[in-house]
Chains A and B, each alone.
Chain A
């Protein structure tokens, strides 16, 4: 059944070469943990991507219940976590996955650094990777406010005050993030929009660039 459906589509659109471009490529011996166990360090990039996919999925599902509004945000989070079946698990995935993604990304960065993989001709991919790093930090910062509890409130206050200490531009950055003079209704909607639309959009674009470049240039050689 599956095979005939696949063949039907393949006859018309010739999708097999596309699939080969994505998935059918050699894994060099020095990055294959089956040959050298220490090569597991090459898995951290893939693990980061795997957790990112889980973050995107669980985040999409959370927005089915969440409202970015100062009256209802906390109540809706409380409801989705404690009243909806598997709410604790879905929110848990998003909550703990957020920390895990930073950890995995950091390990991936260390691997790239210590294997010297950032060197020519892969400098651009290092820069894109750094941009992804900052987008992820931005996602963590904006997502932290959304449950609208005390921890969220003060974390945002502290974060924005740190941003406000930037010379000259500081006060403008703070106003932009607050969307007003206080951490309030406008901050919450603003952070929500940044968290679910702007940064994920930028993240997906950057990830695409990251993957196209690694496919084009191949994995760096052994040490």
Chain B
């Protein structure tokens, strides 16, 4: 259609900068159509991307175990968190590998392998390392990746209160450099 118009304009003797009736009508119709479709579609798009725009909840701390039970040898402890997933509310059980380092600092590692997300275990192969059953990824006691996995194991935020260990949100490992 545009080629056609250009040809017409070229043959017209007097060039006026005014808008033609046809142009005016197509702009008005196009604008009205865009407005109506926009009015219908924009709410739907906002509706669809809502999960991107929802504020992430503040992490809460969960009481997990007595401080006195933590040893130098990593042990697995289970705890439940309250999870609201859209319309589905549940209390799923998570686990953490908690141990003390040489300075008696308590730290907790996430059991999720950083390779492809399987669940690791301590000393399964007798190497005093964390092992992953899926692709043989291995980590040191501090969670440092030795092989296969690209990054160290994640850490839970740890809070000590009245002799109990509280675990908070997961953060990237801070113990390895």
* A interface list, Cβ under 8 A from B: 3, 6-7, 16, 54, 57-58, 61, 64-65, 72, 75-76, 78-80, 83-87, 89-90, 93
Task: Name B's interface SS.
Answer: helix
B40 to A54, Cβ gap below 8 A? yes
CB distance from A10 to the nearest CB of B (A): 9
Contacts A16-B1, A58-B44 supplied; 11 other A-B pairs, CB < 8 Å: A3-B2, A6-B2, A7-B3, A61-B47, A61-B48, A75-B87, A83-B86, A84-B50, A85-B46, A86-B44, A87-B50
CB distance from B25 to the nearest CB of A (A): 11
Bound-state Cα–Cα, A86 to B42, Å: 9
CB 8 Å contact bits of B92-123 with A (1 = contact, 0 = none): 00000000000000000000000000000000
Bound-state Cα–Cα, A85 to B46, Å: 7
CB distance from B159 to the nearest CB of A (A): 30
A72-B87, A76-B87, A85-B53 in contact; A57/B47 too (CB < 8 A)? no
B47 to A87, Cβ gap below 8 A? yes
Give the chain A neighbours of B53 by CB distance below 8 A: 85
A89 to B86, Cβ gap below 8 A? no
* B interface list, Cβ under 8 A from A: 1-3, 40-41, 43-44, 46-48, 50, 53, 86-88
With CB as the reference atom, state the residue of chain A lying closest to B49.
Answer: A85
A85-B53, A93-B40 in contact; A79/B47 too (CB < 8 A)? no
Give the chain A neighbours of B48 by CB distance below 8 A: 61, 64
Task: Name A's interface SS.
Answer: helix
CB distance from A49 to the nearest CB of B (A): 13
CB distance from A149 to the nearest CB of B (A): 14
A85-B46, A86-B46 in contact; A79/B87 too (CB < 8 A)? yes
CB distance from A23 to the nearest CB of B (A): 10
Give the chain B neighbours of A87 by CB distance below 8 A: 47, 50
With CB as the reference atom, state the residue of chain A lying closest to B1.
Answer: A16
Q: List 19 A-B contacts (CB under 8 A).
A: A3-B2, A57-B44, A58-B40, A58-B44, A64-B47, A64-B48, A65-B86, A75-B87, A75-B88, A76-B86, A76-B87, A78-B87, A79-B86, A84-B50, A86-B43, A86-B50, A89-B47, A90-B43, A90-B44
Looking at B2, B3, B87, which has the most chain A CB atoms within 10 Å of its CB? B87
With CB as the reference atom, state the residue of chain B lying closest to A76.
Answer: B87
CB distance from B9 to the nearest CB of A (A): 14
Give the chain A neighbours of B40 by CB distance below 8 A: 54, 57-58, 93
Give the chain B neighbours of A61 by CB distance below 8 A: 44, 47-48
Give the chain B neighbours of A80 by CB distance below 8 A: 47
Bound-state Cα–Cα, A156 to B88, Å: 26
Give the chain A neighbours of B3 by CB distance below 8 A: 7
With CB as the reference atom, state the residue of chain B lying closest to A78.
Answer: B87
CB distance from B86 to the nearest CB of A (A): 6
Give the chain A neighbours of B46 by CB distance below 8 A: 85-86
A76-B87, A78-B87, A79-B87 in contact; A85/B47 too (CB < 8 A)? yes
Bound-state Cα–Cα, A54 to B53, Å: 24
Give the chain B neighbours of A16 by CB distance below 8 A: 1
Bound-state Cα–Cα, A61 to B47, Å: 8
CB distance from B47 to the nearest CB of A (A): 5
Bound-state Cα–Cα, A90 to B1, Å: 36
With CB as the reference atom, state the residue of chain B lying closest to A20.
Answer: B1
B43 to A89, Cβ gap below 8 A? yes
Give the chain B neighbours of A93 by CB distance below 8 A: 40, 43
A86 to B47, Cβ gap below 8 A? yes
With CB as the reference atom, state the residue of chain B lying closest to A3.
Answer: B2
Bound-state Cα–Cα, A61 to B87, Å: 17
Give the chain A neighbours of B88 by CB distance below 8 A: 72, 75
Give the chain B neighbours of A83 by CB distance below 8 A: 86
